[in-house]
Amino acid sequence: MEDVGVAGQQIVTAAVLVIGDEILSGRTADRNINYIAAHLTQVGIRLTEVRVVADDEAAIVTAVNELRARYTYLFTTGGIGPTHDDITADSIAKALGVHIGLDPRALELLHAYFEVRGVDATPARLRMARIPHGAMLIRNAISVAPGFMIENVIVLAGVPDVMQVMLDDVTPRLVTGEKMQTATIKLPRPEGDLADLFAAHQETFPDVAMGSYPSFTEGRVSTQLVLRSTNLERLAIARDSLETKLRASGLL
Amino acid sequence: MEDVGVAGQQIVTAAVLVIGDEILSGRTADRNINYIAAHLTQVGIRLTEVRVVADDEAAIVTAVNELRARYTYLFTTGGIGPTHDDITADSIAKALGVHIGLDPRALELLHAYFEVRGVDATPARLRMARIPHGAMLIRNAISVAPGFMIENVIVLAGVPDVMQVMLDDVTPRLVTGEKMQTATIKLPRPEGDLADLFAAHQETFPDVAMGSYPSFTEGRVSTQLVLRSTNLERLAIARDSLETKLRASGLL
């Protein structure tokens, strides 16, 4: 994590690990990847890799250890509920080589919540208080059972609403880096019309990342040219120069 | 690939590799993972892992080589258009250690398509005919530029409509295995109410995979219990037995 330092000055990276058989079987469409990606971009953390694995301890442990070593932060979603297929907390403890047990802070939260609602504190429900030793809890303002952060691994719920409040809770505790800024030019033309001009423009501005995204909506072809840089000044120069070239070629 | 044999008798696995900066930045929400997952489940191929990486050659090569070695098939989406950021075909060739160049079959398709539409065959557009040597082409019934399959790697477009017609074209050429069958029981209750009963039921039927999926819609909590097996008879017995237990406990 040598690249983490003063906020706003460094490149801070992240991976997301989605844990869940239901995503891989196609039963459920993931709704967390895009939300987390947009959120991290906004706060200045660069999402660099995403993986989806099954509710399988060996698969989770392998992915966690590869990704936490490679990126500043690893966010996981899913597998922290009360049922037997919720094995994320235990798998994280195993990956990190730390003990896991019923956490007194989490137990207190759950008991208070159950008491108010007249719900029995069954062994299954109390499994949601299993937290690896040494973890910080992440607040769940919706259904109380907490997420947690241990070392650089951030463990969030899979239910989108709950994941989102947990992400809001943990974000202020994270180191963030330079924010990626973007400029977009939309053209009512296919990519092929402008690809040569655009490739030459990328060569002129190697420090600005440039991507082209076609879309076909209601039978109409259009292309969005997206320029990305952490340097707003360079971004504006590259965008203005591209617009000038597109106009000169009759493409804009 | 020893586990691939007579159709319907073996376990056939797959990974999906989504290639695209726009997914990682949050600019675009992926719409292909869920579609491919459901399609593969339906035809009897078990999706076991998904990764998303940037438009970065080193990241693509590493992921391709890890995933193609580990699973029966690897499907990639994205990065096969005409612009400079479309580097999938070249990265696949590099990962597999094969040559890449303009493919005569793909050139013929593109030239015919351009001629009818009065479009210039620019160098950028012809980049879409760059195909690794030895690949089979995959038909693109929408915009002609083909996908391809080389060894066990299947390279598809990122635009969902185009990806879907390519997937339909390639599917009959794939070995498929035992189909996973599912049975679902929906209960208007939180997971915690039934987690102990459900865990005990899983222990009684270790050969049937069981998962629990909570949802919160319009303030109402419900849980779906999903049972999965390739053996329809065992699945029916496990489902009936679970329903009996849930009724006896007043949960159904």
Contact A33 B38 (CB under 8 A): no
| Structure tokens belonging to residue A35 | 């939300």
Indicate the pTM of the whole model: 0.92
Contact A21 B202 (CB under 8 A): no
Instruction: Flag whether pLDDT at B148 surpasses 70.
Output: yes
SS3 A105: helix
Q: Which of A39, A52, A192 sits opposite B122 (nearest CB)?
A: A192
Strands A220-229 and A181-187: antiparallel
Q: What per-residue string of b and e applies to A135-169 under the rule 16 or more CB within 10 Å gives b?
A: bebbebeebbbbbbbbebbbbbbbbeebbbbbbeb
| B221: CB partners within 8 A, 6+ apart | B188, B189, B190, B214, B215
Q: What is the mean pLDDT of residues B185-201?
A: 93
Residue A189 CB burial class (10 angstroms; 0-12, 13-18, ≥19): middle
Do B39 and B53 touch, CB atoms closer than 8 A?
A: no
| Best residue of B13, B16, B22, B25 to probe chain A, by most A CBs closer than 10 Å | B25
Largest separation between any pair of C-alpha atoms in chain B: 72
In whole angstroms, what is the distance from residue B130 CA to residue B126 CA?
7
% residues pLDDT > 70 (chain B): 96
Q: Which residue of A has its CA nearest to B21?
A: A211
Residue whose tokens read 């890799």: A49
| pLDDT for res B221 | 86
Q: Is A20 left (phi over 0), alpha (psi -120 to 50) or beta?
A: left
Instruction: Flag whether pLDDT at B10 surpasses 90.
Output: no
Q: What is the mean pLDDT of residues B208-223?
A: 87
In the 8-state DSSP scheme, what is residue A99? -
| pLDDT for res A7 | 45
3-state secondary structure B145-173: CCEEEECCEEEECCCHHHHHHHHHHHHHH
CB count within 10 Å of CB B211 equals 24
| pLDDT for res B9 | 60
Do A113 and A126 touch, CB atoms closer than 8 A?
A: no
The model's pLDDT over B34-78, given as tens digits with 9 standing for 90+, comes to 999 999 999 999 999 999 999 999 999 999 999 999 999 999 999
The model's pLDDT over B173-191, given as tens digits with 9 standing for 90+, comes to 999 998 989 999 999 998 9
SS3 B122: coil
CA distance readout (Å), B45 to A112, B159, B171, B183, B229: 46, 22, 10, 18, 13
Strands A13-19 and A73-77: parallel
CA distance readout (Å), A49 to A25, A226, B121: 21, 20, 35
Residue whose tokens read 């390519």: B166
Q: Is B226 in CB contact (< 8 Å) with chain A?
A: yes
In whole angstroms, what is the distance from residue B128 CA to residue B147 CA?
9
Mean per-residue pLDDT over chain B, rounded: 93
The model's pLDDT over B86-131, given as tens digits with 9 standing for 90+, comes to 999 999 999 999 999 999 999 999 999 999 988 889 988 999 999 9
Do B76 and B23 touch, CB atoms closer than 8 A?
A: no
Q: Which residue of B has its CA nearest to A85?
A: B211
* B225: phi then psi, degrees, rounded to nearest 5: -100, 120
CB count within 10 Å of CB A113 equals 16
Whether the complex's predicted ipTM is more than 0.90 is answered with yes
In B64-144, beta strands by DSSP E: 73-77, 100-102, 130-132, 136-138
Q: Which of A50, A85, A159 sits opposite B51 (nearest CB)?
A: A50
Nearest alpha-carbon partner for A62 in B51, B57, B152: B51
Each residue's pLDDT, cut to its tens digit, for chain A (252 residues) gives 344 334 446 899 999 999 999 999 999 999 999 999 999 999 999 999 999 999 999 999 999 999 999 999 999 999 999 999 999 999 999 999 999 999 999 999 999 999 998 888 998 899 999 999 999 999 999 989 999 999 999 999 999 999 999 999 999 999 999 888 999 999 999 898 999 999 999 999 999 999 999 887 777 889 999 999 999 999 999 999 999 999 999 998
What residues 46-85 of chain A have any CB closer than 8 A to a CB of chain B? 46-55, 59, 81-85
Instruction: Flag whether pLDDT at B2 surpasses 90.
Output: no
Do B221 and B189 touch, CB atoms closer than 8 A?
A: yes
| Structure tokens belonging to residue A180 | 């990626």
Instruction: Flag whether pLDDT at B17 surpasses 50.
Output: yes
| B146: CB partners within 8 A, 6+ apart | B106, B109, B131, B137, B138, B139, B140, B166
Do A185 and A252 touch, CB atoms closer than 8 A?
A: yes
Contact B49 A49 (CB under 8 A): no
Contact A26 B34 (CB under 8 A): yes
Which domains are delineated in chain A?
13-173 (3.40.980.10), 181-248 (3.30.70)
Q: Is A198 in CB contact (< 8 Å) with chain B?
A: yes
In whole angstroms, what is the distance from residue A131 CA to residue A32 CA?
22
